[in-house]
Every structure is written in C-alpha cells, then in structure tokens.
Chain A
C-alpha cells in the first residue's frame, strides 16, 4: 500500500518557507565549484574514454635509438630519426622490433613526429604472433603538430603478442620530420587527465600572430570552455541545493563559483607569462638597445640595416627597398628611416627602372632576380633593361647600390 503520508511530508518539506542562507557563502562556492569540477572531469572522461579507466599494464616506451628508417630519405641524429623526404612511391617507413608484448590491455599507440603538418598522413603497422607473416594496419590521427595517435583497442587484429611496430608516413613533408618516440599505453583515466593538464600548460612563446590571437588552434580539451562548463555545472548545483534546502540564494556564491573558474584559467595564463618573462629575460635583459635588436627575431635585418646606413648619406635620401618577403621589406625600410624608403609590404614588385633617377639608392635583402655586372656597373632586376649603378655594399648576398 502506498504511503501517501510520505509524499505529503516530502511536499511539505519542499514547500516549507525559505529559511536561512545556509553555510557561509565562500564554503558553498568552494564546495559547488569542487563538485562541478569533479562532475565535469568525469563527464568528459565518460564521453571520450571507454572503460576500463584503470589498468595494471605499464606504459611501454621506445626511443629513436631503437627505430630504423626502412624506407624514405633521412637518417639518425642525436635528437631523433630524421625523415627528410618519402621515397619514390610517396611513403617512408620507420620500424621497430620491440620485445614481444601482449596486445591485450594496451589500447593506444602514439608516435611523436615533430614537424608534421597537413601535408603528411600516417598509418600504424604491426605484426602479431597469430599471423606472423601478416602485417596489420590502421590509420593514425594527427594530434597537434608533433604526434600521431591510433586507438587500437577496437581493432580485431590487435591481439596476441605484438612483435613488430612501424609508422608509415604518406605524402611529401614540407620540412624534415623528427621521430623521437613511440608509446604503447593502456590509456587510463590518469593518463588522459595528465595529458590534458600537460596540454593546458604547454608553453607557446610570443610569435608574430600573438598580437591578433593568443591561440590559433586549441588542444583537444581547451581550458576556457571546460572552465565554462564548470561554472554552469557549479551554478546549477548551487541552485538545486539552495532550492532543496530552502536556502535563500546568495549572490556571493554565484560570484565565487565564477571567480574560481576565472582564477583557474587565469592561473594557467599567469604560468605561461612567467615562462615568457624567463625566456625574454634570457634574450634581452641587461642589454643595450643595439644588443636587444641583435637578440631579436629579425637580427639579420637589423644588422644589415646598420651596415647599409654606414654607406648611405647622412641626409635622408630616396631608397628603393626590396626583399622577397613583405615583412622583411617593411622591417628593413623601418630600420632605414628617416631615409625616404619606397617599399610596399603587400605586393612588392620592383618599380620600372625609368622611375628611378640618379642619386637614388637601391637596398636589396634576400632578393631573387637581381643581378649586378661589376665590370660594366650595370644593375638589372626582373625582366627590365639594366641601368647604371654603383655597388656600395655587398653583405652576404644583400646589397646597396647608388643609381648613376
């Protein structure tokens, strides 16, 4: 028989008037934030990591010293195995013969391949003792610019004892790839958490685009949306708790939950800034202005500009500044001010020789299609007719000319 009186009691309990504010707001905020952090962490794991979350198996790890470049162009260095190019069929293979180990319990294989980009893809090969003659394969997913990963747990051929592993690189790498490690792991919850925290705290120094956006791509689990989910979950927790306990809702609890999440993302940013300060101090601290410029990313441009200024007149003269790269062109022109530099950061074609007049100067930095005939003192660029000029400075292929 249904005990109606229990429902009456519950209804009465829930409809009772609002009472106190509950525990102190900072305790509530901290508790709700902690619960939300835990729930969101567990929720993320539940969505992305199949059970089991623990394992007795140890992670297996091999370095470049145990790898062999079976196909492709490259070689071994102290820092890893370098793949400069794929072979004629468009692939490179890096193989490894580890001591045989049982596949069961190992769910993920990760190769560390530094320098990889969208120009290359990768596949994992392995051999097991069930069919020793057969080579099994699965596609690997890129993880940032330095890893390829394969989830092998669901592969029907990932069984028995694994006795050989290999990485197949397909495509033409735009720059040399450095293979440094392979890791075969059971992928536990602890491992996943460590990896995400590591990704959050991965330091990226200032670069040319930092002024436009701090990140250009996010890790698998970016911190700001995770913190946002924690806020939403924490606020919900508190709202439900306050409703159930008939507490009067406190602004400071909402504020506290949001503030803690803010401090979480800001803490990460602060750690990154400390690392950046350390890096900048190593490059620039206690240096003169000239030394700072020579420690900066554009030091060769600055150094060439300083040498060019020595052969240019003291009074501002008209210069044609040319370089292949728009940024270098603009930077060189900046260092040569207050000379009257003609340059375009976008485009950058040299003007027709007829636009130049006697007494103008041409400053060329890393510029192709630029020829000077010293015996006849003729300067020629692109497909134009040569014009008379005097070479004032030649410095590692960069030059200053005066138009005659």
Chain B
C-alpha cells in the first residue's frame, strides 16, 4: 500500500511542479491561467522537466534516487509558489474565473446530465485504474521497447546506451531490445515511478498513463469552453473523447508511447488553436513547447511538430497563407513522389510508388470495428456540412494541421511498407490515435459553428392574418 501511495505522489510531484511553473511563468499581461489549464498542461510540462533533469543527472554522473531526481521538480515547484505569491497579477482576465467548469449555470436537467456524464467517466477511470494496478505490463511494445530501458536504467541508477543485438554480441553495446533507438522520455518516467515505488513494479510504473488521460480530459474541456461551448456541450464532447475505446485500451493496458504522444499533440493543438483566436503568446508558447517535446516521447512526434509550423501560415497570412500552404503541399507531394522512386526510409517506413489497396482495412478499423465508436462517421459528416467554413477562422488553423496530418498518414498507409501493418491492424489505430484528440476538438469546433449557423437561420416569423395562406375554396 505504501508503494502505491508513493507512486501516486510520484505522479503528483511533476504534475504539481508543471502546473505551478505554468502559472508562474504565464505572461503577466495575460493574467493567470485557469486552474484547469494549469492542471491539464501541468502534467506534460512537469514530466518533460523531470526527464530533462534526469538526463542532466545521468550526464553529470549522479546516480538516480528519489531525492536526486525529485529535488528539481520540488525546488521548481516551490520557486513557482514563491513567484506566484509575490507577483501581482496586473489584471484578471476570463481565465481567472473560477467557475469555468460552469455546471452551476445549467438548468436542473442540464446539471443532472452534466454530473451523469462525469460519473460515467469516473466509473470508466476507476475501471482503468483497477486494470492498471492489477495487470503487469501486458502489451508487446510495453515490455519489448519501453520498459526494457526503464528497468535497466532503474537497476543501474543511470542511463546506459542500448544497441543492436549484434553490438551486444560484439561487446560494443551492453544492452539491446526491440528498438534500441527509441527516445528516452517514457522509460525515464517509468524509472521515476519505480524510484518512488521503491522497487521495480510492473504495475505501478504505468500509473502515469491514467494521469495522461486525466490531463487530456481537463485540457480538452477547458479549451472547448474557451471556444464558446456551454458546460454541457463541453462535458459531452469531453465524454466523446475519453470514451473512445481505443484511447481507453491504451490507458487500461498501458506502457505504449502512443497515448502520451496523443496527449502532447492534442494539448499542443488545442493551445495552438486558442492562440490563433486570441493571439496571446502564452498559448503559442505552450503549443510550441509541447509539440517540440513530442519527439522525445516517440519518433513520429517529429512529423506532428513539422506539420504544426506550416499550419501557422493560414493563421498569420490568411488567404495568402493558404496559397503558400497549397504551394508547399504540392511541392512536398512532388518531392515525395520523386523520392519514392528511390525507396527512402522515413521514420522507419520505406516509401515507394506502389499503391497498396488497404482501403478496406482502413474502413473496417475506423467504421466497422469498435475502436472509435462513431468518430470516423461523425467527423466526415461535420466536415461535409461545414465545408464553407473550413478555411476560415476559427477552424482554419486546425484544418491546415489535421489536413496535413491525415494526408501524411494516408501516404504512409497506401505508399509504404506500413500497408502491411494497416492490413493486419497492428499499427493503423495507434497512428490514428496520435491525431484523435485533435480531431475530436476539431469536430467540437465544427459543431459549435453549425450551432451558430442554425441559430442564425431565418428568424421566427409568427404568421399574421395578412400573411396567412388563402383558405381552400
């Protein structure tokens, strides 16, 4: 029980540190961020702080221990508290409003529905927590790519390099696993969890996966509220996101890097969208920081980071930005097509010009199987009915980002050796998961736009005697 308690504290420390640092570092002119924003973005920020600090410790030859590793987040957290207490916020903005959750403003039935949805989410979360605490690391990648490094680094108290199996045989590397070149953030987070638990525990090291889902839900709710959604709509949309079965599976069977990457990319894209609307530097810095950190989680993070930067163009330049983006896209596609003749490897995928007909597998996994509920039906429908608004604010930034992301995935699925992993359903859903939070957020924005259009539809006209149709003769 004490191991569990310390593991919970192990999650809480970087989370609190990240939240406090965010609140303290937030530009004064923009007021303080709401507690939901701090709590949501605090966990990934705290986690990155922690793993950077662990890398520094390893580079300096300081062995890992709870005190050595925990000292930096604790100190930074305390420093942030000091700054927050001494700094005078110049002006309060809407973010300061404590009632951002907003359920109190709902009518009675709305409150019941709001709490019912939250209760269902809490039930789901409790089930995932049980699974997580009961079942030792289960998924293949969890123990073949990620926890391997964590277990060694925890046991040795420092970071040692991993090499190929042949290098181990030749004694030029000490350790190997299925992907020795994978980034170190996730294993380091697991090292920290093991340090807190006091032993290598194949269940407690995975506790942060639930925290990732919580942070995602909080951030999503907060940003959808900021988009003008009422509390009930925001809760329903958050429910839609967190109830996605494939996202849930990655919490219940933790240890893969795909959910953390989806959370980093999702929170980054929400902040990016908010910056595109409000032009407050705090949100842009958040977006860029999280997107720039995502390659530390998993290598495809480079792609999602690379796609965020061009998505700035329509926001900054408007129509000219779209033209520039179109040009960039065309040039990129041409370059890719020409390069594909030479079968280059891109993040481990070998591109070529042969078309792989994996459309049926893609349709099955998105529309027929139980992975995504109705997301891949609802999203195209919303895009279809909102097509006039796709290139305009408030969704222009995300249209560009998601358009690029989905185009990239389709190229990889249909024109690379990844087609095999689409056909056997081994990679396709995990790749889609990276963009799923952003897609749900985008759908929420489109639905809000649709609501506004319907509200603006012809006003109610009460029939008058003069306008009444003639009575039948």
Residues of A near any B CB (own CB < 8 A): 5-6, 8-9, 12-13, 15-21, 206, 208-216, 218, 222-225, 227-228, 231, 248-251, 254-255, 258-259, 261-262, 265-266, 268-270, 273-274, 276-277, 280-281, 283-285, 289, 292-293, 296, 316, 318, 327, 330-331, 333-334, 337-338, 340-346, 351, 355
Q: How many residues of B contact A (CB 8 A)?
A: 82
A268 to B471, CA, bound (A): 53
Q: Which residue of A lies closest to B458 (CB)?
A: A18
A225 to B376, CA, bound (A): 10
Q: Is the CB of A337 within 8 A of B151?
A: yes
A76 to B369, CA, bound (A): 37
A212 to B428, CA, bound (A): 8
Q: Which residue of B lies closest to A277 (CB)?
A: B127
Q: Is the CB of A255 within 8 A of B425?
A: no
Q: Is the CB of B470 within 8 A of A251?
A: no
Write out the residue numbers on chain B whose beta carbons fall within 8 Å of the beta carbon of A345. 144, 178
Contacts A222-B368, A224-B374, A293-B202 hold; do A340 and B136 have CB atoms under 8 A apart? no
The 10 sampled A-B contact pairs (Cβ below 8 Å) are A19-B461, A212-B427, A213-B429, A222-B368, A269-B243, A292-B135, A330-B177, A334-B144, A334-B151, A337-B155
Q: Which residue of A lies closest to B120 (CB)?
A: A270
Q: Is the CB of A342 within 8 A of B174?
A: no
Q: Is the CB of B378 within 8 A of A258?
A: yes
Q: Which residue of B lies closest to A347 (CB)?
A: B165
- Most interface-central of A250, A251, A255, A269 (chain B CB within 10 A): A251
Q: Is the CB of B243 within 8 A of A5?
A: no
Q: Is the CB of A213 within 8 A of B369?
A: yes
In the complex, whether B89 has a CB less than 8 A from a CB of chain A is no
Write out the residue numbers on chain B whose beta carbons fall within 8 Å of the beta carbon of A15. 469
Write out the residue numbers on chain A whose beta carbons fall within 8 Å of the beta carbon of B460. 18-21, 248
Q: Is the CB of B155 within 8 A of A338?
A: yes
Interface residues in B263-289 by Cβ distance below 8 A to A read none
Q: Which of B147, B176, B202, B364 contacts A341 (CB 8 A)?
A: B176
Contacts A227-B374, A265-B373 hold; do A327 and B140 have CB atoms under 8 A apart? yes
Q: Is the CB of B425 within 8 A of A209?
A: yes
Closest 6 CB pairs of A and B: A12-B469, A284-B134, A338-B155, A213-B425, A211-B139, A251-B451
Contact with A along B442-473 (1 / 0, CB 8 A): 00000100110011011011110001011111
Write out the residue numbers on chain A whose beta carbons fall within 8 Å of the beta carbon of B429. 212-213
In the complex, whether B238 has a CB less than 8 A from a CB of chain A is no
Contacts A20-B460, A225-B368, A334-B144 hold; do A289 and B374 have CB atoms under 8 A apart? no
Q: Which of A218, A224, A248, A292 contacts B136 (CB 8 A)?
A: A292
Write out the residue numbers on chain A whose beta carbons fall within 8 Å of the beta carbon of B123. 270
> Shortest Cβ distance from B232 into chain A, in angstroms?
10
Q: Which of B140, B199, B371 contacts A214 (CB 8 A)?
A: B371
> Shortest Cβ distance from A273 into chain B, in angstroms?
5
* A18-B458, A270-B123 given; 20 more Cβ-contact pairs under 8 Å: A19-B461, A21-B460, A206-B138, A222-B368, A223-B370, A224-B372, A248-B454, A249-B457, A280-B135, A283-B134, A289-B199, A296-B138, A318-B171, A330-B143, A330-B178, A333-B177, A337-B148, A337-B151, A342-B169, A343-B176
Write out the residue numbers on chain B whose beta carbons fall within 8 Å of the beta carbon of A213. 246, 365, 369, 371, 425-426, 428-429
Q: Is the CB of B175 within 8 A of A259?
A: no
